[in-house]
Amino acid sequence: MTRRQAREYVLQSLFQHEFTGAAPDRGELLNFMKDNPPAKEILEFIDDLLNGTIEHMAELDALIQRACKHWELNRLAAIDRNIMRFAAYEIIFRGDIPNAVSINEAVDIAKRFSTEESFSFINGVLDKIAHQKDEKVPDKRAVKKPSGAVNKRAVKEHRA
């Protein structure tokens, strides 16, 4: 089983979770995958992606909502909403997966499971989330002033 297939199982579990409210049942998920059982590392990936997305759903929904100007999250198709949720989880919480990979995987899954128009919308929203995340990460090359250092400009403005 590939990570792409794992993401598709996660999408299906998130979709079911959204409509039933029930926590995903690992045994049920394993039974669903019995024809194509995942390797240990793929199963760990599924567990992290599914449980992490559910655990951080409110935060992920807020990020998606901010990136969806003029669209209400609850008015989006459930498939699109859940694709963006797990992809946003990867972007924000999985530093081992490049943003471009997470976005591309989400777009390809949207092409398979959603409408023809959805994939470009999902691409734009996830790209915006990735850029907002990158803007919040401080430049490692930036030199921090020692805590006792005086900001001469601030002192000058304060005196004026």
- CATH code where residue 76 lies: 1.10.940.10
Long-range pairs for 64-71: beta carbons < 8 A, 24 or more residues apart: 64/88, 64/125, 64/129, 66/132, 67/124, 67/125, 67/126, 67/128, 67/129, 67/132, 68/125
Least confident of 30-44, 109-123, 134-148: 134-148
Confidence at 135, pLDDT banded by 50, 70, 90: low
52: domain range?
Answer: 3-159
Task: Identify the residue with better confidence: 9 or 149.
Answer: 9
User: Domain count of the chain?
Assistant: 1
Within 8 A by CB and 6+ apart from 12, the residues are: 32
**Which single residue is written with the structure tokens 């609850």?**
74
> Is the pLDDT at 66 greater than 80, yes or no?
yes
Least confident of 20-24, 65-69, 96-100, 133-137: 133-137
> Is the pLDDT at 82 greater than 70, yes or no?
yes
CB 76 within 8 A of CB 18: no
Would you state the pLDDT for residue 48? 96
CB 111 within 8 A of CB 99: no
